Amino acid sequence: MLKVGLTGGLACGKSYVGEALAGFGCLLIQADLLGHEALEPGGEVYRMVVQEFGDEILSNDGHVDRRLLAARVFGSPEKLARLNALVHPYVMRREDELTADFAAREPRGIAVVEAAILIETGSYHRFDRLILVTCREEQQVERAMRRPGAVESDVRARLSRQMPVAGKLKFADFVVDTSGEKEDTLRQTRAVYEALRRIES
């Protein structure tokens, strides 16, 4: 089985590319969704995160309000590192469980893990190949602003803290540029899939 990392900056189109790869037959694991799972009431890290960051991050129904949590940690590298230290081990363990299960069923399959900071955390070492999704920064802002509750100053602040695309390119085995039409993105993604299939075969 081939284990592939799929990464890129904020609102660059990672999920679109990941869903296309899933449509071609890959297993798609979305690290963000695993992180959300961990933060659910009763989830493995829920209690630790609430103890670390306070009841103020909870909504009225007792769920972690991810926007409140993000507002608390993204301005502070120390707090963000603490949150990652709580959540990332759970996410990585679940990724390993899901890929092992997939490998048992599909020994010649391709498992794709979509995550935003694979390069920054050094996690890219865990993958056989790495796909980087890119687009122009103004497109990232425009796309991010379509999300509920988005504030432009927050979006630009998050972008300013992310590793520039130029720094990520040297780690990538494949690059998908989502700046153009969706059809062009799909064409590039299919070409990457076919190249991965050749490696696996």
Q: Where are the domains of the chain?
A: 1-26+109-201, 32-107
Candidates 3.40.367.20, 3.90.550.10, 3.40.190.10, 3.40.50.300; correct CATH number of 32-107?
3.40.50.300
Kindly tell me if the per-residue pLDDT of 111 is higher than 90.
Answer: yes
Mean pLDDT of the chain: 93
**pLDDT at position 149, please?**
82
User: What are the φ/ψ torsions at residue 100 (nearest 5 degrees)?
Assistant: -65, -40
pLDDT tens digits, one per residue of 73-101? 877 889 989 999 999 999 999 999 999 99
CATH architecture of 1-26+109-201: 3-Layer(aba) Sandwich (3.40)
According to DSSP, the residues that pair with 8 across neighbouring strands are 133
Kindly tell me if the per-residue pLDDT of 192 is higher than 70.
Answer: yes
pLDDT tens digits, one per residue of 127-146? 999 999 999 999 999 999 99
**pLDDT at position 155, please?**
86
Secondary structure E strands in the chain: 2-8, 27-30, 110-114, 129-134, 174-177
Kindly tell me if the per-residue pLDDT of 201 is higher than 70.
Answer: no
